[in-house]
Structure 1
C-alpha cells in the first residue's frame, strides 16, 4: 500500500516491509490469441516472482540516497512503488511531499505531437498549470537545447532528444523529492553533465530529497551520501555510500 502524508516530520520517505510480487506465465506464448485460448481452457499457469522481499528503510528530508544492485535486482521496482507508479503487494510506502519522478523519461509523451505540444501535455500530467508552462516555456526549451526543433513531431526525435525535453520539464521547478532512474545515461556526455549539475544544484541549494539509481558506481559515490544495496529482491546493505559501494564492488572481485 502506498500513501502520501501531509505532515512534515523528519522522514520524506518511509518504506515499511514492502514486498512486490509479479505473476509470471509458466510458458512462452507467441501472441495474444494463444494467451486468451489458454486462459479460457484453464491451461495457463502462473508462478510468483518476488521482485522485492520485505524491504524497509527510511529517507530523511534533504538526504541524497543511491540505490545500487545488479540488473534485475529490484531497484527500479522500488523507485516505481515510491513514485506511485506501482502499488506494493505487501507492506506500505509513505511519501511526504511532491515528487519529480525521472523514470522512463518521455513515457507520457505523444510521439505524433510536436515538442511544443508535448511540453504542455507532460507539464499538465505533472500538475503544472498552462500559465506556469507559459512562464517557463523558454527556460525549458533553452535547457533542453532544442530551440530549432521545438515544432517538430517527437517521432522524429532521437531517444536522447526526448530525454532532454522530459528532464527539462520535470526539473523546471524544485521538487520536494527527486527520483532519478538511469536518466543520466541517456544522451551525450555534455548533456549528462548538465543534468547532473542541475541535480547537484537542487542538493546544495534546497531541501530536496534525492533517490538516485545509476549503473555508474562512481556517479553514485559522487552524488550520494548514503547507499542502499538491493540484490535479487533482498536488502543486502544500507549505510554510508563509500562503505556500501566498496562492498558492492567486492562481489565482483
Structure 2
C-alpha cells in the first residue's frame, strides 16, 4: 500500500482586497478608525483536494494567477487556509521564492548554516554536508562573498544545493529548474531524479510542459483557483496545451 505524504482536503483561500485607493498610512488609519474602508473578497483557491504519495513527483500547472503559488504556500505552512485541511507526513523543504530564508548581508557560507537551521538541521549535520553543498553549487571562492553581490543564478544554485543536499522527505519546487545555465539545469534534474529514487516526494510547479512531462507522474491543473483536471502527466499536459 502506498504511503500518503500530502493530503489536501477541500482547501479554500480567501484574501480581502481593499477597494479604496489609500495613498498613505495616515489615510489608511483614518479610514480604518472611521469604519470607511471597504473590501472585495477574492478566493485564490476554491475547494482544492488531492493526495500525493511517497516518492511521487506531482506536478502543478496553470496560467498566471491560477493559484499555484498560493497552494504551495498553504502546503508549506506559510499560509493558513480559510477553509479545509492540509496534512504533510514528513519534513517539508519549500523552494518557493529565490533567496527566501537568506540574509543578504551574510556570505554564502554563513547562509548555508542559517538556511539549514531554518529548515531544522543541526550545525553538526550541516558541517558534515558543507563540502557537498559547496561542490554542487559551483560557487567556489564566491561562497565567502556576501550574497547581496550574487546574481539570481548564483542564489538559485546555493538555494537548490542546500535544499537537495539535506535529503528532504517532501521537496516543493517552484520554477527553480528554469533558472541558471543549461549545464546546471541538467545537474539539477539529475539530482532531483536521485532524490526521487531515494523516496523523496516532490511537488513541482513549472510553465515548462516538457519538464513536467519528463519529471512528473501525475499533474494537477489549476484554473482560477479550482481543480480543472487531475491525472497522468502526459494526458493532462496534452489537454492543457490545446
Q: Do they fold alike, i.e. is TM over 0.5?
A: yes
The one of 37, 49, 53 equivalent to 1:56 is 49
The one of 212, 216, 239 equivalent to 1:224 is 216
Write out per-residue CA displacement over residues 46-76 of structure 1, whole angstroms, 9 at most, x where no aligned residue.
1111000001111121111100100010111
Tell me the residue number matched to 2:139: 146
- How far 1:245 sits from its partner (Å)? 0.7
Tell me the residue number matched to 1:83: 76
Q: What TM-score comes out, normalization by structure 1 length?
A: 0.91
Say which SS state the counterpart of residue 150 (structure 1) adopts.
Answer: helix
Write out per-residue CA displacement over residues 123-160 of structure 1, whole angstroms, 9 at most, x where no aligned residue.
11011111111111111111111111111111111121
Higher alpha-carbon deviation: 41-50 or 233-242: 41-50
The answer for unaligned runs of 5 or more in structure 1 is: 1-7
**1:201 aligned onto 2:199:** no
The one of 171, 181, 196 equivalent to 2:174 is 181
Tell me the residue number matched to 2:21: 28
Rounded to whole Å, the distance in 1 between the matches of 2:123 and 2:88 is: 26
> Which structure 2 residues correspond to residues 47-126 of structure 1 after superposition, within 5 A?
47-126=40-119
- How far 1:42 sits from its partner (Å)? 2.0
- How far 1:9 sits from its partner (Å)? 6.9
- How far 1:32 sits from its partner (Å)? 2.9
Tell me the residue number matched to 1:246: 238
Matched positions, count: 242
Q: What TM-score comes out, normalization by structure 2 length?
A: 0.95
The answer for unaligned runs of 5 or more in structure 2 is: none
Rounded to whole Å, the distance in 2 between the matches of 1:236 and 1:193 is: 31
**1:163 aligned onto 2:165:** no
Rounded to whole Å, the distance in 1 between the matches of 2:35 and 2:177 is: 45
Q: CA RMSD in A?
A: 1.5
Say which SS state the counterpart of residue 80 (structure 2) adopts.
Answer: coil
Give the 3 Å change call, closer, same or farther, for CA 167–33 of structure 1 in structure 2: farther
Is the contact between residue 105 and residue 167 of structure 1 (CA under 8 Å) also seen in structure 2? no
**1:237 aligned onto 2:229:** yes
Say which SS state the counterpart of residue 215 (structure 1) adopts.
Answer: coil
Rounded to whole Å, the distance in 2 between the matches of 1:149 and 1:248 is: 41
Give the 3 Å change call, closer, same or farther, for CA 28–196 of structure 1 in structure 2: farther
**1:137 aligned onto 2:136:** no
Rounded to whole Å, the distance in 2 between the matches of 1:187 and 1:19 is: 34
Give the 3 Å change call, closer, same or farther, for CA 143–28 of structure 1 in structure 2: farther
Higher alpha-carbon deviation: 212-221 or 182-191: 182-191
Say which SS state the counterpart of residue 128 (structure 1) adopts.
Answer: coil
Tell me the residue number matched to 1:17: 10
